[in-house]
């Protein structure tokens, strides 16, 4: 069975592994992945041992997480010893992942102490990631920085991505393009590509719905006082599968193709309508794949 691709750019479509129990049943998950026409699978570092089995079945590793969750904060710790330890672990993950065939390493710029001045945490970030560049270059790897705007997170906006590439100009440093985060921050996701498409090393297939009525009711600066937040969202927005939000995927894919992107589109399932149980998650992934195939 041929693996699914987007119409525009012919990018192989895969998905990002979550914490669902069914995704951790290696053989069963791989069989479902292939039967469902997904050609790539993103993994956390603790599961990199699965890569050879995937490769034997023709499934590529889309991206390999640089660190487990706590490790990201270590790279941006104000404690020099913690930063050094985190850098050593990241180097090891890059080297071991590259030996197995991983080339794209996913990361988030999350500070250990989000209450510190952002410029100070940015300095720690530049120090740590500069130290990873030689290892990435030696191993033929690239770093894909996702702009999830978590607590104190850096490299979520054009201002901070631009500053990152000015401070660390090596082409191994790049973007994990996830337009859902840009939409929720009211950043033009197509203009972002017009500036940064040549730095995109990986793409997440995820979208965002803006709920106009709730935006009127609650605004976007404060949490609601009485209403409950939406799963995989807040009060006036929620993450969705591609096609259920506002992103125009065909123009976005066209900009990527014109910029020379040759990577994958990896569905990141964070949609409350589908993140219910195993059947719901599988349906969400398939519906997202079907939509992206037509873009």
Which residue intervals of the chain are DSSP H helices?
26-35, 51-56, 69-75, 80-100, 118-139, 158-167, 179-184, 189-196, 212-218, 249-258, 278-293
Contact predicate 4/260, CB 8 Å: no
Residue 107: inside a domain: yes
pLDDT of 20 reads 84
Residue 6: inside a domain: no
Which helix (H) or strand (E) segment holds residue 142: the answer is strand 142-146
Nearest alpha-carbon partner for 269 in 251, 256, 257, 282:
282
Q: Which residues neighbour 44 within 8 Å (Cβ) at sequence distance 6 or greater?
A: 17, 64, 65, 68
pLDDT of 1 reads 62
pLDDT of 172 reads 98
| Helix, coil or strand: residue 106 | strand
73-88 b/e (C-beta count within 10 Å ≥ 16 → b): bbbbbeeeebbeebbe
Give residue 116's domain range: 13-210+240-293
Q: Rounded to the nearest 5°, which phi and psi values hold at 170?
A: -55, 135
| Helix, coil or strand: residue 42 | strand
Pairwise CA distance, residues 211 & 149, whole Å: 19
pLDDT of 24 reads 83
Residue 226: inside a domain: no
Task: Dig out the tokens for 31 from the structure.
Answer: 């069989």
Q: Which residues neighbour 29 within 8 Å (Cβ) at sequence distance 6 or greater?
A: 22, 23
Residue 262: inside a domain: yes
Pairwise CA distance, residues 191 & 4, whole Å: 27
Q: Looking at the 3D structure of the chain, how many domains does it have?
A: 1
Residue 233: inside a domain: no
pLDDT of 70 reads 78
Q: Could you tell me how far CA 132 lies from the centroid of its own chain?
A: 19
Find where tokens 């921050």 sit. 185
Q: What is the pLDDT along the chain (295 residues), one digit of tens a residue?
A: 689 999 999 999 999 987 788 988 888 999 999 999 999 999 999 999 999 999 999 999 999 999 998 789 999 999 999 999 999 999 999 999 999 999 999 999 999 999 999 999 999 999 999 999 999 999 999 999 999 999 999 999 999 999 999 999 999 999 999 999 999 999 999 999 999 999 999 999 999 999 999 999 999 889 999 999 899 999 999 999 999 999 999 999 999 999 999 999 999 999 999 999 999 999 999 999 999 999 9
Distance (Å) of CA 54 to CA 19, 42, 174: 18, 11, 25
Contact predicate 154/121, CB 8 Å: yes
Residue 30: inside a domain: yes
Pairing of strands 173-177, 200-205: parallel
Residue 268: inside a domain: yes
pLDDT of 101 reads 96
Residue 276: inside a domain: yes
Taking the CA of residue 213 as centre, how many other CA atoms within 13 Å lie in the half-sphere pointing to its CB? 1
Q: Could you tell me how far CA 17 lies from the centroid of its own chain?
A: 11
Task: Dig out the tokens for 1 from the structure.
Answer: 């069975």
State the CATH number of the domain containing residue 191: 3.20.20.150
């Amino acid at each position: 069975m041929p693996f699914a691709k987007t119409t525009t750019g012919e990018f192989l479509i895969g998905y990002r592994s979550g914490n669902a129990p069914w995704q951790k049943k290696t053989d069963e998950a791989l069989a479902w992945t292939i039967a469902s026409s997904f050609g790539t699978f993103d993994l956390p570092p603790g599961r990199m041992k699965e890569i050879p089995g995937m490769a034997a079945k023709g499934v590529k590793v889309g991206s390999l997480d640089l660190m487990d969750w706590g490790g990201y904060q270590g790279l941006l710790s104000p404690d020099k010893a913690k930063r050094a330890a985190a850098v050593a672990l990241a180097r090891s993950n890059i080297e071991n992942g590259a030996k197995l065939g991983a080339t794209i390493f996913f990361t988030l710029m999350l500070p250990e102490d989000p209450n510190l001045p952002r410029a100070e945490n940015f300095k720690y970030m530049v120090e740590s990631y500069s130290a990873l560049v030689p290892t990435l270059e030696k191993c033929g790897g690239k770093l894909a920085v996702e702009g999830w705007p978590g607590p104190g997170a850096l490299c979520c906006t054009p201002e901070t991505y631009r500053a990152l590439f000015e401070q660390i100009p090596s082409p191994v440093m790049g973007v994990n393009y996830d337009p859902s985060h840009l939409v929720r921050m009211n950043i033009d996701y197509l203009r972002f590509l017009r500036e940064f498409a040549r730095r995109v090393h990986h793409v997440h297939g995820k979208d965002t719905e803006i709920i106009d009525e709730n935006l009127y009711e609650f605004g976007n600066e404060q949490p609601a006082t009485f209403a409950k937040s939406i799963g995989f969202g807040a009060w006036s927005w929620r993450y969705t599968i591609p096609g259920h939000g506002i992103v125009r995927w065909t123009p976005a894919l066209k900009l990527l193709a014109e910029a020379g992107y040759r990577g994958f589109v990896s569905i990141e399932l964070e949609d409350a309508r589908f993140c219910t149980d195993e059947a719901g998650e599988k349906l969400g992934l398939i519906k997202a794949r079907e939509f992206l195939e037509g873009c």
